[in-house]
Structure 1
Amino acid sequence: MKQRSIIVINLLEENPVNIAGVLFAAYPEKADEVAIKLGEFPGAEVHEITESGNMVVTIEEDNKDQRLIETITTMSNIPGVISSSLIFHHNDAGLAQFSGGQK
């Protein structure tokens, strides 16, 4: 049983998951269109859109070939987006040292 948990912990270290919460501001008349485009990104989910064009988006990314900041930058360049602000970030890298895992 202990060996199984070590394998799981090693997988987390080799493939860490990034989770980000980003606040996007879009022109109100473009907000629905922007939200659709943001939701098309792998791992992205639009949670809330206000009448003024603000929206909360979470991004979950485990792709080593694509950096989270590149994804956010690409999203920020969608026509109709005014600004973006990273409001939360979590990364699983190094989790083993806090989980009691041994190598």
Structure 2
Amino acid sequence: MSREFHISSLVVHSRPDRVPAIVESLASIEGAELHGGADAGKLIVTLETETEAQVVERINAIQLHDGVLAATLVFHHFEPVQERE
């Protein structure tokens, strides 16, 4: 089975009063990185994962956080990982 590398970007719309807690919880999600938007409640997040299923799993986890109104996938790209000999 060939390995893959997935990179995705999301916009996470949230209640402004819950942004600090959401930012803190994003830090605990493996492969998630915040790139801004906290001041407006529209967080820009990237995910780096090994499988498409992990992308879906992490988006679902983000959507379940208290104060998250929506987590919208904006971009998804994947490539096979080159094996070293």
TM-score (structure 2 length as normaliser):
0.83
Q: Which of 14, 20, 33 matches 1:32?
A: 20
Larger radius of gyration: 1
Question: RMSD of aligned C-alpha atoms?
Answer: 2.1
Between the two proteins, the alignment pairs up a number of residues equal to 82
Between Structure 1 and Structure 2, the one with more helix by share is 1
Amino acid corresponding to residue 73 of structure 1 in structure 2 = N
CA contact (8 A) 1:19 1:60 kept: yes
Q: Which of 23, 45, 48 matches 2:33?
A: 45
Determine if the alignment matches structure 1 residue 87 to structure 2 residue 74.
yes
How many angstroms does 1:62 deviate by?
1.3
Could you tell me which runs of 5 or more consecutive residues in structure 1 were left unpaired when the two chains were aligned: 1-12, 97-103
Could you tell me which runs of 5 or more consecutive residues in structure 2 were left unpaired when the two chains were aligned: none
Q: Which residue of 2 aligns with 1:18?
A: 6
Structure 1 residue ranges, 4+ long, deviating more than 2 angstroms after superposition? 49-52
Q: Which residue of 2 aligns with 1:68?
A: 55
TM-score (structure 1 length as normaliser):
0.70
Between Structure 1 and Structure 2, the one with more strand by share is 2
CA contact (8 A) 2:6 2:51 kept: no
CA contact (8 A) 1:27 1:52 kept: no
> Percent of aligned positions with the same letter in both sequences?
23
Q: Tell me the distance in 2 between the aligned counterparts of 1:51 and 1:63.
A: 31
Q: Tell me the distance in 2 between the aligned counterparts of 1:41 and 1:63.
A: 15
